[in-house]
Amino acid sequence: MQETDFLKGNQRVLNDIRKFEIFEPFQEDELQHLMSMSKIRKFNAGETIFEQGSADTWLYFLVYGKVRLMKDGKPVALLQRRGDVFGEMGALACAPRSASAVTVGETVCLATDIYYIEQLTGTDKLAFGYVIYRVFSGILTDRLRITTEALLTLKGRSLKIW
């Protein structure tokens, strides 16, 4: 893995990530905060980004490439869209990773250490925390919807929910 320093003040990277749909709710100052907590990480093909069972506070936004999520050695998802997010559940819950993330081909990610959200103070902490958690709730809602549809398909749509 190759890694940059924290990206505070890096206008080129900021302009690139501003194009990601996931960052649309962010204001300029909030994106600047995100950059101060973020690094660009470049991985080679087959490199492990994080292991199932490991614990850290990093979450990842796919810039380019592909990432396969593996649970108990079995593939569960392939991420390949710019801006796809992964690693958020372990980072947010400060819990062991529920899956491993492995690159498929050369891959570049924006890696954000959300530990630093806790280091913000006052209105910065509230505003930035609100936006980032709102974004994550949308991601998790979409993933729950997809999981529910898959479950219904496997059960032949005979399962009643709620």
DSSP three-state, residue 133:
helix
Contact (Cβ atoms closer than 8 angstroms) between residue 8 and residue 32: yes
pLDDT in tens, the chain (162 residues): 888 776 665 677 777 777 888 777 777 777 777 777 889 999 999 999 999 999 888 989 999 999 999 999 999 999 999 889 899 877 777 789 999 999 999 999 999 888 877 777 777 777 767 767 777 777 788 878 888 888 888 877 655 555
Within 10 angstroms of residue 103's Cβ, the number of other Cβ atoms is 21
Statement: the pTM of the whole predicted model exceeds 0.85 = no
pLDDT at 157: 61
- The rounded distance, in Å, linking the Cα atoms of 84 and 94 is 20
Q: Is residue 35 a contact partner of residue 13, using CB atoms and an 8 Å limit?
A: yes
The CATH architecture assigned to 2-154 reads Sandwich (2.60)
Q: How far apart are CA 153 and CA 42, in angstroms?
A: 37
pLDDT for the residue 158: 54
